[in-house]
Amino acid sequence: MKIGIDKIGFYAPHIYLDMNQLAKSRGVEPEKFTIGIGQEKMAIAPITQDPVTLAANAALEILDEKDRKDIDFVIFGTESGIDSSKSAAVYVHDLLGLNPNSRAIEIKQACYGATAGIQMAKGHIALNPESKVLVLGSDIARYGLNTPGEATQGAGAVALVISANPRIMELEEKSVYFTNDIMDFWRPVYSDKAFVDGKLSNEQYMAFFTEVWKQYKEKTGLGLKDFEAICFHLPYTKIGLKALRTVLEEGTEDVKDRLVENYTASTDYNRIVGNIYTGSLYLSLLSLLEQKEDLAEGSRIGMFSYGSGAVGEFFTGILQPDYKDNLRVENHNTLFSSRTEVTVSEYEDIFQETLPTDGSTVKLNIDEDPASICLAGMSDNKRNYVNKMK
């Protein structure tokens, strides 16, 4: 039985910061951000969007009534979750009106969470072929104003429906995964910003890719020539290119050209959204599928997932016939073209806005947020969400 990705939804907030403006304000050459880091725009989450609403908006794009009945498992991968106890999946389950006979959980292992969710979903579908699983990867990446990590922030979510007989991509069985205890990036529960050892994180990302790629080749007998494209977890778009370059010499000139060209297509969306942590790899996959015209059905796509701390995995998928008919390119073009640019000072104000932590009541202005699902306020230490479509 084929199991894989049947639908992919995406959502990013309606405001963004131009990286050239950020560079000017921070006194660095714009090319450091646009070429050295490889980012053009950074999605900014207004206070009316949090990881729950971002994920719910991403899923809203793709779910029909049949999905709402068939989905019986919601898996929410996030590392910027809003509650240490209740899972973000339960809120999304309610906001989307899903089948009450569902499981709903949150998974955490830095940017690896959504990949863990997908692998768990595969097992669930293997046991329950009629079911569908909604896997969400949703995050707001925050390092802090004037920090080295600032240029690699972002906000957004990807929603994936995993099912039998998937219409976009079959996920192949063989994959390689690897864990090692590394303090490259972490966020203690008392902090709303991540701590990071930037240099170590880059080194470990590369080391994990080297390790899982080597093991994958040994396990499967496959090599670079067997891949139409390789997608990477993209905290910023330059890093995947660096990882790809470490293996390009294994291919002929044709293979190298193909992989580099397809890598570029796989970074288009990430370049204008920024790091969305758990969803980044799947945003890159979406970018490849929607921005590259001529990927043939049956093509094999490699995927490198990395979650600091650290867990890495290399796994693969096969494009299904007519996969293009199941994408939503127009929606995403509209989403990007209707965003509004904010100034650096507006971004700094938004970054420093906070919600009450003393149980007091706050009502947020959701009229300025075009998203269907918003955070409308807080009272009694509870978040109040609205789905404007209901």
Task: Provide the binding-site residues for ligand CAA, judged by CB under 6 A.
Answer: 29, 31-32, 35-37, 111, 148-149, 151-152, 185, 196, 198, 201-202, 205, 233, 235-236, 239, 275, 277, 306, 308
Residue in 12, 53, 16, 38 with CA at minimum distance from that of residue 244:
38
Is the Cβ of residue 235 or residue 317 nearer to ligand CAA in the bound state? 235
Of 134 and 276, which has the nearer Cβ to ligand CAA?
276
Exactly one of 233, 290, 313, 374 is catalytic; name it. 233
Cβ(335)–Cβ(371) below 8 Å: no
Any catalytic annotation for residue 203? no
- Give least dist CB 253 to ligand CAA, A: 24
Only one residue has tokens 């979650």, namely: 307
Nearer to ligand CAA, 314 or 323 (CB): 314
What SS3 state is found at 193?
A: coil
Give me the least distance between CB of 66 and ligand CAA, in Å please.
34
> Is the Cβ of residue 89 or residue 151 nearer to ligand CAA in the bound state?
151
Residues 6 or more apart whose CB falls under 8 angstroms from that of 200 comprise 182, 183, 184
Minimum gap (Å) between residue 323 Cβ and ligand CAA: 27
- Residues 111, 124, 228, 374: which is the catalytic one? 111
Provide, rounded to whole angstroms, the least separation between the CB of residue 156 and ligand CAA: 13
CA distances from 380 to 89, 192, 357, 358 (A): 21, 20, 9, 8
Q: Rounded distance, CA 310 to CA 196, Å? A: 13
What b/e string do you get for 255-282 counting C-beta neighbours within 10 Å, with b at 16 or more? Answer: bbebbeebbbbbbbbbbbbbbbbbbbbb
CB of 166 to ligand CAA, least distance (A): 26
374 an active-site residue? no
Which residue's beta carbon is nearest to the bound ligand CAA? 36
Instruction: Answer yes or no: 233 catalytic.
Output: yes
Rounded (5°) CA angle 358-362-364: 140
Residue (148 or 298) nearer to ligand CAA, CB: 148
- Please provide the distance, in angstroms rounded to a whole number, between the alpha carbons at the two ends of the chain: 37
List 79, 150, 290, 313, catalytic entry: 79
In contact, 10 and 156? CB cutoff 8 Å:
yes
Q: Which residues are catalytic?
A: 79, 111, 233
